[in-house]
Structure 1
């Protein structure tokens, strides 16, 4: 049974709507002004809101603004109810995030038709979300065991060499085996950490309270973090000469740990999927819309279809290229950025096979 919140200051109109909705089997709650209506929305989390425009305490536009800004109610279908509905009013409401308008006086058919359309659309969105989660579960089931087994088998193989040859192995061979063992262990650890973090992100995205708290985080002097990660990754791939740094500074609205993880994954990809001797350009600068961090490499390009299809546990052209890892780097960076209210863009292709991944964060 869908729950509908009716916010209307005229008692006769409000009671008329409530009676019609209850006769159709809807669970209803109501408020006589905008401020109380917003409070009711937070307390009861309705499936749909019907709201008058002209009201005391807080008008309908104020209610809509508050509803859309709060993660608890941001996606709730919202229908305006008004006697004043010229084109400018309708456009204003729609631009602010209203889903529909019903003009007074209205018929039973108009009211129920508008409600049915909004609820059906919401149900479709929920179905798509569930489908996406099902695909994620299937991808995890298919990809995770094999991806984890590869570095684990390497760890076992190298450790077996040490056990079986401990009394005859030469110092240089011992060092090489130990280094290979260490590298395989690090890769396994990173895969597990990425898997856990991706699962945590998907869970956090469904918790409005945690999401709201996360978006209040801020990082001061992000340039220090970007510099440190870029230099560390260049050394890891023995490509210090390929690194070009051009980083300005600005406070950004993102948790320090999350910024570090997102930039680390993007820069790692830039080195991993480009050849030694080609440049990796890391740039960060303040722009009108926020703080933009761009990482460019001149390796393998991505097609438009591949860029549009970025998702967890997805790797592109795997049968043609040897790739290690769960393919979570870009999707982790993308989801982290989005959770903090930012955006991630990818530009790839052209004659230079250039790929640029840009993160735009709020300041």
Structure 2
């Protein structure tokens, strides 16, 4: 049984709506002003709120603003009931996050249709969110043990050899084993960071308040940030001479740590899937209010099917190439770009050239 909260200061109207909804087998709560209504919503977490605009103590806009600022009530469907039907009033309500706007007086049929429609949409939204979370859990459950076991085996295997044969190994042999242990440890650390980051981004995508908070962050002097992140990847692949930078500075609507991660994943892929001695170009430019980043390599590339299937835990043609890694880098980039109202575009000619283009809003 769905629970509905009716916030209306006029007694007769409030009672009529309550009676109508109860006849339709809804559980109904009511409040005579906005302050009490907000308290009721916070305490009982209704499935839907019907709220008047003009009320004493706290008007409907104030109620909606308070609800959307509270994580526990931020996603409750909200329908305004009001005699104010001016376009500016409607836009104000919708701008605050209202889901619908009914003008009084409205018929019982109109009200019930609006209520049932909104509840159905909310049910669909919750099912979709749950499906995404279930898919994420399954992917992690299936992929995490295998992905972590590979570098962990490298650490354990080399450590075991060191312990068993320590007295018979020379310095160069020990150094080689320690370097392998360090490389496996770094890979394991990267995998864990990426799994946790992707899981967090998926959770953010289901929470409007967290999305809004994410989009308020920005980074300045991004040319140096991008340069440092790209150079670090070139250093790790011992390909500093292959990296070519041509960057235009601009403030970008993304936190510096997130942007650095985005660059890290794109440049890492470019080096990983191209041969030493071939160039990796990292370029940026500003067009109007968009910051555009390009990462170009001359590696094996992707087919159109590969590009369409960008998703977590997908390693393109893994059996053929046996590349290390979870294949999650582009999925992290795509989710970051989507959450910041950007665009990710990939053009690739297999074994010739791949261009990844990222567009992000500029800040300020």
Query: Could you say whether these structures have the same fold, taking a TM-score greater than 0.5 normalized by the shorter chain as the test?
Result: yes
CA 286–144 in structure 1, closer or farther in 2 if over 3 Å, else same: same
What's the counterpart of residue 27 of structure 1? Answer: 28
What's the counterpart of residue 185 of structure 2? Answer: 185
Contact 1:8 1:51 in 2 (8 A): yes
1:313 offset after TM fit, Å?
2.2
1:269 paired with 2:265, answer no
What's the counterpart of residue 134 of structure 1? Answer: 134
What is the distance in 2 between the residues matched to 1:36 and 1:281?
60
- Number of equivalenced pairs: 360
What's the counterpart of residue 347 of structure 2? Answer: 348
**SS of aligned partner of 1:252:** coil
1:233 offset after TM fit, Å?
0.8
Contact 2:221 2:250 in 1 (8 A): yes
Unaligned stretches of 5+ residues in structure 2: none
What is the distance in 2 between the residues matched to 1:244 and 1:190?
25
What is the distance in 1 between the residues matched to 2:274 and 2:28?
58
CA 242–66 in structure 1, closer or farther in 2 if over 3 Å, else same: farther
CA 120–282 in structure 1, closer or farther in 2 if over 3 Å, else same: same
**SS of aligned partner of 1:296:** strand
Contact 2:285 2:291 in 1 (8 A): yes
1:243 paired with 2:243, answer yes
What is the distance in 1 between the residues matched to 2:305 and 2:8?
47
1:47 paired with 2:74, answer no
Contact 2:94 2:100 in 1 (8 A): no
Given the two structures, how large is their TM-score scaled by the length of structure 2? 0.78
Correspondence 1:110-189 to 2 at 5 A: 110-189=110-189
**SS of aligned partner of 2:281:** strand
Contact 1:219 1:251 in 2 (8 A): yes
Given the two structures, how large is their TM-score scaled by the length of structure 1? 0.78
What is the distance in 1 between the residues matched to 2:64 and 2:231?
47
What is the distance in 1 between the residues matched to 2:338 and 2:246?
24
What is the distance in 2 between the residues matched to 1:359 and 1:30?
47
Contact 2:204 2:210 in 1 (8 A): yes
1:234 paired with 2:234, answer yes
What is the distance in 2 between the residues matched to 1:70 and 1:221?
34
Q: Deviations over 1:220-251 (max 9, x none)?
A: 32322211111111122222232221222233
CA 206–131 in structure 1, closer or farther in 2 if over 3 Å, else same: closer
- Greater mean alpha carbon deviation, residues 295-304 or residues 95-104: 95-104
Contact 2:271 2:280 in 1 (8 A): yes
Contact 2:7 2:51 in 1 (8 A): yes
Q: Deviations over 1:188-219 (max 9, x none)?
A: 22112222333344455566776665554443
RMSD, matched Cα = 4.0
Unaligned stretches of 5+ residues in structure 1: none
**SS of aligned partner of 1:319:** helix
What is the distance in 2 between the residues matched to 1:82 and 1:303?
54
Correspondence 1:1-363 to 2 at 5 A: 1-6=1-6, 11-23=11-23, 24-30=25-31, 46-51=46-51, 75-81=75-81, 99-100=99-100, 102=102, 104-203=104-203, 214-338=214-338, 341-350=340-349, 352-363=352-363
1:147 offset after TM fit, Å?
1.2
- Greater mean alpha carbon deviation, residues 229-238 or residues 95-104: 95-104
**SS of aligned partner of 1:189:** helix
CA 203–128 in structure 1, closer or farther in 2 if over 3 Å, else same: closer
CA 45–245 in structure 1, closer or farther in 2 if over 3 Å, else same: farther
CA 51–329 in structure 1, closer or farther in 2 if over 3 Å, else same: same
- Greater mean alpha carbon deviation, residues 194-203 or residues 221-230: 194-203
What is the distance in 1 between the residues matched to 2:39 and 2:248?
43
1:301 offset after TM fit, Å?
3.6
